[in-house]
Amino acid sequence: MATIVGIEVDGGAVLAGDRRLTEGGTVSSDSKRHVFDLDGVGAAAVGAGGDVDEFRRRLDAEVDSYETEHGEPMSIDRLVSVASDVAAAEGVEAVVAARDGDDVPRVRGIDSDGGVIGDDALAFGSGAQLALGVLEGREQGIGPDDAEALARDAVDAAADRDTDTGGEVDVYRLDGEPDPV
């Protein structure tokens, strides 16, 4: 199924996930993206391959439409609202990252039923328990660089013991300072 993680720290938010796709207990690809950069916001999803593709496609269309209408990236609250509807419709679990009203990067987890989880360390997928073990053992007060390394370590730890999690890791990072317009 793959493993995805999200970490929120002072000064940033990080999403990471592997590229493995398994179907029927067989590895069908090690090049399936589960982490997506949607132009100012990020998302990661796990589920059946076609469902993850459809989640990405639909969420990307919603994000593009919002940015065209409003001239700015979606806030975390709006992104969570849209992503939870799409995740429930497609049956995927997801983690999203965007800025709140004060331009602070945030992460939120979304269950396959559309329920939202607000925590500063999240993991979904077949290696979620293994990844959470790494994330929960982290030092407090780390910055975005250490959070990125930790996210990679969490997915790598899952890959070491979970055959449905691959070793190739993609990362999306949202730093504390917004890009100048």
> Which domains, from first to last, does the chain contain?
3-167 (3.60.20.10)
From 99, 101, 83, select the one nearest 40 (Cα to Cα). 99
Residue with tokens 């994000």: 63
Q: What is the pLDDT of residue 176?
A: 86
Dig out the tokens for 101 from the structure.
């009203």
The low-confidence residues of the chain, meaning pLDDT below 70, are 178-181
23-29 contacts at long range (C-beta below 8 A, 24 or more positions apart): 23/48, 23/49, 27/163, 27/166
Burial of 67 (0-12, 13-18, 19+ CB in 10 A): middle
Q: What is the pLDDT of residue 178?
A: 57
Q: What is the pLDDT of residue 140?
A: 84
Beta-carbon-side half-sphere exposure of residue 160 (alpha carbons within 13 Å) = 10
Residues 6+ apart with CB under 8 A from 29: 19, 20, 21, 49
Burial of 51 (0-12, 13-18, 19+ CB in 10 A): middle
